[in-house]
Amino acid sequence: MDGNETQIALADPGALLATTHRVGSDTPVRLRLTRPSDARGVEAFLSRLSPESRRRRFSVPTPDVGDKIVRHFTFYDPRERLVVAATVPQAGGEELVGLADVVLLETGLAELAVVVGDEHQALGVGTLLAEAIASLSAQQGATHVKAEVLGENQAMTRVMERLGTTVRSVEDGVSVVYTRLPAQARRAA
């Protein structure tokens, strides 16, 4: 335990997905589940990321955004994985500014990852995405969320700490952060 004993109450995921949130200097952001028709938008978003942001998300340098990566974010079985997009309004549509995905394991653990576009980092988009993913995971029975983080990625560690009691460890040379989800957010068995 690192002394972070603050336990927040996660918002209802339906409310998080049905609301326009204001971040930074009043930028409107909407959250929603991704869908196959998002393939072009996901590819454009990931291609705009700086090499450093891509490395932090994928844990390795990822110079090209291929079809396999795009499909990871747009085609999934919602019983096993969920992907939430953060979007901002654009003329005639929307632009993706962040993605969060989670793998729901039968053990009650949910493995999450978040990436936010460089121009929208440090505005609260990552926190919104993480809370939505954590809330959705809790409703599916998850008791803890896990994130692999590069050692220098303190922003992701802070996001995890905002979700609940957090423990950091190193597993096979990789920094990992575990957060216990608030009990009231979990689905009744």
pLDDT tens per residue across span 134-182 = 999 999 999 999 998 876 678 888 888 888 889 999 888 888 999 998 8
**pLDDT above 90: residue 63:** no
Give me the domains of the chain, ranges plus CATH numbers.
Answer: 13-144 (3.40.630.30)
User: Comparing C-alpha atoms, which of 98, 106, 108 is closest to residue 131?
Assistant: 98
Write down the pLDDT at residue 36: 94
Q: Which of the two residues, 1 and 84, has the higher pLDDT score?
A: 84
Report percent pLDDT > 90 for the chain: 46
User: Quick check: 58 pLDDT over 80?
Assistant: no
- Burial (Cβ within 10 Å: 0-12, 13-18, ≥19) of residue 129: buried
Q: Is the pLDDT of residue 3 over 70?
A: no
> Buried b / exposed e across 27-50, counting CB within 10 Å, b at 16+?
eebbbbebeeebbebbbebbebbe
> pTM (2 decimals)?
0.85
Q: What is the pLDDT of residues 40-51, one digit of tens each?
A: 999 999 999 988
| Positions of E strands within 24-165 | 27-33, 81-90, 93-104, 109-116, 144-149
Mean pLDDT of 61-84: 87
- CA–CA separation, 131 and 139 (whole Å): 12
Q: What is the CA radius of gyration of the chain?
A: 16
Look-up: residue for tokens 């090499």? 51
Kindly give, in sequence order, each residue whose CB lies less than 8 Å from that of residue 91, ignoring residues fewer than 6 positions away: none
